[in-house]
Amino acid sequence: MTEKILARASEKPQLSPGENIWINVDTLMTHDVFGPGSIGIFKREFGENAKVWDREKVVIIPDHYIFTTDERANRNVDILRDFCLEQNIKYFYDIKDLSDFKVNPDYKGVCHVALAQEGHCRPGEVLLGTDSHTCTAGAFGQFATGIGNTDAGFVLGTGKLLLKVPPTLLFVMDGEMPDYLLVKDLILQIIGEISVSGATYKSMEFVGTTVESLNMEERMTLCNMVVEAGGKNGVVSADSTTFKYLEDKTSVPYEPVYSDEQARFLSEYRFDISKLEPLVAKPHSPDNRALARECKDVKIDRVFIGYCTGGKTEDFMAAAKVFLNSDKKVKVPTFLVPAAQKSWMDLFSIPVPGSGGKTCSQIFEEAGCDTPANPSCSACMGRPKDTYARMNKPMVCLSTANRNFPGRMGHKEGQIYLASPYTAAAPALTGYVTDPREFLH
């Protein structure tokens, strides 16, 4: 599928892996951390008065270092704003009042979730972003990958980029998803199987009955961590689930692309989902896979449920289910960081099935979790030192985020375990890494 999307984007009839081609970009995304650098390069190379190639195809989403007093971080958002005004950028999800994100009508939250919710992800298109997790958008059957400032500066001016066509690895997942597993477990299984460099320079294509049964947020979680295996991009075929999701979000016409019957893949991996068990990724690598039940002696100090990988509405509903079933209070500080405005609002409005009408936020409050924070990237990447819930001293943390390399959340000696929302909520109740099946049956 990747080869066909890139062929269309480069106006060639067909491509093979290994070819270097210039492609037309449909959407370029940048945020507050890498935006200013990209803008600086754009102006340096194309001139102070240069105009972007298409003011409607650039999407600028401040989300990383937002709720902080750090002057440079706030200056960077100002740089974005000035650029958007000067270039008349159509899609700029601005934030000015840091004391209350809700009074900012345009602010959306984490870029990858916002891109999807605002209808910028469309099947068959090419989306590039200055963030490694741009691959999340592959969930929509498009080619989406991360690039750096210099490449982004180039795209800003030309709308094109030089890319090498990747070979594709096929991941076939069949079987009904057991009720104690979430998509995070699937991707941790895959990364544990092929290692953090197993998919370097390759495309990861996900097929099978399990994949077809996933909703869009789940597919996004799957593609989000493609880069953790070194993958260039991940794709899931667009189908009725995709089209339904996009119905009320975009009116831009799109044309999905599908792999041919005789498509060639570099390797094929098959998984029988019904046999899998809840997993964690131990410090300090996303491929350090272990069964959750085998880590039950690991004492934890904190739990984070949130971020682009685990902070969407579905993820919070899953965590709430665990708390509801146990009816107990958390034993360790539990931080909740919704990925987007919409996720935050859903926490406070959508009733959790089987709870008698309670919302996620009520269930979390009763369990003793921290109040849901402002939507942003927060402590996932240990930003400025005053970031909410940053790890400022060594501790053991369980997180629904996507990386656990040394120092990722702030302190170099901190230990981060990655897990699904189920496998993050259960340990919050016990104080130790716990298999969520203890609370789900």
Partner 1 sequence: MKTLVCLINCRLEIFAVHFDVDVAFCTRYRTVTFPTSRCCLDAWAMKLWAKPNVRFEYPKPPLHSSTTHHQNPWLPRAAAPRPTRLRHSLTAESTNATTFHGICYVVGDNIDTDQIIPAEYLTLVPSNPAEYEKLGSYALIGLPASYETRFIEPNEMKTKYSIVIGGDNFGCGSSREHAPVALGAAGVAAVVAESYARIFFRNSVATGEIYPLESEVRICEECKTGDVVTIELAESRLINHTTGKEYKLKPIGDAGPVIEAGGIFAYARKTGMIPSQSC
User: Under the rule (CB under 8 A), what is the footprint of partner 1?
Assistant: 20, 22, 33-34, 36-37, 39-41, 44-45, 64-65, 70, 72-73, 75-76, 79, 130-132, 134, 146-151, 154, 157-158, 160, 162, 164, 196-197, 200-201, 227, 230, 232, 285, 381-385, 403, 405-408, 410, 412-413
In the bound complex, what is the minimum distance in angstroms from residue 46's beta carbon to partner 1?
Answer: 8
Closer residue to partner 1 in complex, CB, 416/429: 416
Least distance to partner 1, CB of residue 198, Å = 10
Structure tokens at 437: 């099946």
Q: Give me the phi and psi of 200, to 5 degrees please.
A: -55, 130
- The DSSP result for 351-391, as a single string, is BPTTTTS-BHHHHHHHHTPPPPPPSS-GGGGT-STTSTT-B
Q: How far apart are CA 228 and CA 37, in angstroms?
A: 24
Please, which residue, 45 or 94, has the CB nearer to partner 1? 45
Smaller CB separation from partner 1, 45 or 365:
45
What residues contact 340, with CB distance under 8 A and at least 6 apart?
A: 108, 109, 110, 113, 114, 117, 311, 312, 375
Q: How far is the CB of 131 from partner 1 (least distance, A)?
A: 6
How far is the CA of 101 from the CAs of 63, 67, 93, 247, in angstroms? 11, 9, 12, 27
Q: Work out how close the CB of 408 gets to partner 1 at its nearest, in angstroms, rounded to a whole number.
A: 5
All residues at 6 or more sequence positions from 49 whose CB lies less than 8 Å from its CB, including other chains: none
* Distance of closest approach, residue 136 Cβ to partner 1, in angstroms: 13
Q: Residue 57: left (phi > 0), alpha (psi -120 to 50), or beta?
A: alpha
Distance, in Å, from the CA atom of 237 to the CA atom of 257, rounded to the nearest integer, reads: 8
CA angle 237/240/245 to nearest 5° reads 95
Query: Please, which residue, 216 or 380, has the CB nearer to partner 1?
Result: 380
Cα–Cα distance for residue pair 37/131, rounded to 1 Å: 13
Q: How far is the CB of 335 from partner 1 (least distance, A)?
A: 17
- Give the nearest distance from C-beta 274 to partner 1 in angstroms: 32
Smallest gap from residue 403 Cβ to partner 1 (A): 6
Cα–Cα dist 399/380, whole Å: 8
In the complex, what is the shortest distance from the CB of residue 281 to partner 1, in angstroms, rounded to a whole number?
Answer: 13
**DSSP assigned state of 298:** -
Closest listed residue to residue 89, CA positions, set 126, 149, 38, 123: 38
Taking the complex as a whole, the smallest distance from the CB of residue 197 to partner 1 amounts, in Å, to 4
CA nearest neighbour of 425 among 416, 434, 412, 415 = 434
Nearer to partner 1, 278 or 414 (CB): 414
Count CB atoms within 10 A of the CB of residue 338. 31
For partner 1, give the closer residue by CB, 283 or 375: 283
Judge whether 23 and 161 are in contact, CB under 8 Å.
Answer: yes
Whole-number minimum distance, CB 70 to partner 1, in Å?
6
Helix or strand holding residue 91 (H, E): strand 91-92
Question: In this structure, how many other beta carbons lie within 10 angstroms of the beta carbon of residue 88?
Answer: 11
Question: Residue 77's Cα: distance from chain center in Å?
Answer: 21
Structure tokens belonging to residue 122 = 């469309």
Identify any residues that bridge with 359 across adjacent strands, giving them in sequence order. 351
Beta strands 279-281 and 415-419, pairing class: antiparallel
CB atoms under 10 Å from CB of 432, counted, come to: 17
Q: How far is the CB of 401 from partner 1 (least distance, A)?
A: 12
CB of 147 or CB of 389, closer to partner 1:
147
Q: Which is nearer to partner 1, 22 or 243 (CB)?
A: 22
Report the alpha-carbon distance of residue 400 to residue 262 in Å, rounded.
Answer: 37
